Amino acid sequence: MRVIIIGGGIGGLTAAVALHKQHAEVLVYEAASEFKPLGAGIGLGANAMQDLKDIGIGDDIFAQGTPIHTQIFKDATGKILNTIDFAKFKAQYGHENITIHRAALHQTLFDALPRHTVRLGKRCLHVSEHHDGVVAVFNDGTSVKGDLVIAADGIHSSLRKQFYPAADPRFAGYTCWRGLTTNDGLVEAGVSCELWARKGRFGYAPMQDGQVYWFACVNTKPDNAFYAELTNEQLAYQFRNFPQEVGALIAKTEQAQTLHHDIYDIKPINRFVFGRTVLLGDAAHATTPNMGQGAGQAIEDAITLAKNIAQYNRKEALHRYEKERVAHTKKVVRLSRQIGWAAQWSSPFATTFRDKVFPHIPSGLLFKRLQFLFKNHNE
């Protein structure tokens, strides 16, 4: 089988690695003209780590990550509202949640493929299906034919628009800054934290080599020019009423290490498969980052698809992939959006209510609410 993968991000490269190990002919086409480290820190849940282990690169990725055993939620004064014991995932499923630099994960996936597999500077315009295959057409006038096209070209996927033109990205209601800086004793090992307040939300987690990944979110309309131009010093002032470590982390982050984006997702769709073309990752189910499952769900897509292709004929494999992944990722997208909605409340009444009720929700219930992420792993 010749598989054409459109998009060389985490989902596309994971699919390429998994299918290459099954001896499929894999060609990855990436619109960017060069391969270079991008992004900041990301979280990989134990569910994703299990899948990466299954294709033989889990240990390499774990070695570059930092295990997180506890998630803490606080109010703006630093008072603990609740916690989630991630160590239970290790005890129950054998794998840990980690933080890792997106570039390190990307590079490990890239290094697991033969160099000729990835073609750069190739932006796919559209695909056309024929009785004996599918053809992908690129912006430079070239085309390639294969047995299957995997559309892993992100939230703004041109291929999703071809088959599902109404599935445009939707704004989540807030904008986000992300940064990397040195820890210097500000952040506890193995602990990630989020602070929720009326005027914004701030989170941080330790990473390897004494680094810390942080994010900051505030409610706004999309494309707000004021927030787009904030320096780190000005951003720290926006969070001046938060605990001391918040302003310190922002202030000592180099401006070049700070990224700013409005947050979008895609309203869940009911189909990922269109003949010989299959949607994967953000192209299929872009989610807000509130559960740390964006990369993880793309990885799960890739492994699920590869496993089905190994066991069934093409049509049956794609049918099973769609059946398994559509319902599951819908739940992730919806729950993640709900979490972000509650975390970004700004009215005095709503935030007071949240801060009084949240501490009374049993930590075990929060853990249980995440166990659906492992449903497919236990069958």
Mean pLDDT, range 275-304, rounded to an integer: 96
At 377, the pLDDT band (50, 70, 90 cuts) reads: low
* pLDDT tens-digit series, residues 75-119: 989 999 999 998 888 888 888 999 999 999 999 999 999 999 999
Residue 375 predicted with pLDDT over 80: no
User: Does residue 374 surpass a pLDDT of 80?
Assistant: no
Q: Mean pLDDT, to the nearest integer, of 46-72?
A: 94
Is pLDDT above 70 for 378?
Answer: no
Q: Is residue 156 part of a domain?
A: yes
CA 307 to each of CA 246, 284, 314, 316, 327: distance values in angstroms, whole numbers, following the listed order: 43, 18, 12, 12, 18
CA 334 to chain centroid, in Å, comes to: 14
The more confident residue out of 229 and 88 is 229
Determine, yes or no, domain membership for 241: no
**In what order do the strands lie in the sheet containing 191-197?**
80-85, 70-75, 191-197, 200-207, 211-219, 169-182, 258-266
Among residues of the chain, what percentage have pLDDT more than 90? 89
Which of 21, 22, 24 is closest to 5 using CA atoms?
24
Tell me the CA distances in angstroms from 318 to 11, 27, 131, one per residue in order. 16, 19, 17
Q: What is the pLDDT of residue 367?
A: 83
pLDDT over 70 at 24, yes or no: yes
pLDDT at residue 373, rounded to an integer: 85
Structure tokens at 6: 């459109």
pLDDT at position 239 is 97
Confidence of residue 37 (pLDDT cuts 50, 70, 90): low
What is the rounded average pLDDT for all residues in the chain?
94
Backbone dihedral region for residue 163 (phi beyond 0: left; psi -120 to 50: alpha; all else: beta): alpha
What span, in angstroms and rounded, lies between the C-alpha atoms of 1 and 148?
A: 8
Whether the per-residue pLDDT at 376 is higher than 70: the answer is no
The two structure tokens encoding residue 197: 């307040």
Show the domain range for 308. 2-169+265-377
Assigned domain for 344 exists: yes
Give every CB contact of residue 226 below 8 A, 6+ residues apart in sequence.
none
Buried b (16+ CB within 10 A) or exposed e, 186-223: bbeebbbbbbbbbebbbbbbbbeeebbbbbbbbeeeee
In a domain, 252, yes or no: no
In a domain, 193, yes or no: no
Token representation of residue 288? 């807000």
Neighbour-count burial for 30-69, b at 16+ CB within 10 Å, e otherwise: bbeeeeeeebbbbbbbbbbbbbbeebebbeebbebbbbbb
Q: Count of domains in the chain?
A: 1
The pLDDT tens digits of the residues spanning 242-280 come to 999 999 999 999 999 999 999 999 999 999 999 999 999
Answer yes or no: is 98 within a domain: yes
- Kindly state whether residue 179 falls inside one of the protein's structural domains: no
According to DSSP, residue 103 is labeled H
Rounded mean pLDDT, 284-303: 96
Q: What is the pLDDT of residue 71?
A: 95
Q: Is residue 214 part of a domain?
A: no
Residue type, 375: K
The answer on pLDDT for 197 being more than 90 is: yes
Rg (CA), the chain: 21
Closest of 233, 236, 260, 259 to residue 246, by C-alpha: 236
Q: Which of 278, 371, 267 is nearest to 320 (CA)?
A: 278
Q: Does the CA dihedral 186-248-254-180 come out positive or negative?
A: positive
Q: How many percent of the chain have pLDDT more than 70?
A: 98
| CB count in 10 Å sphere of residue 269 | 18
- CATH of residue 22's domain is 3.50.50.60
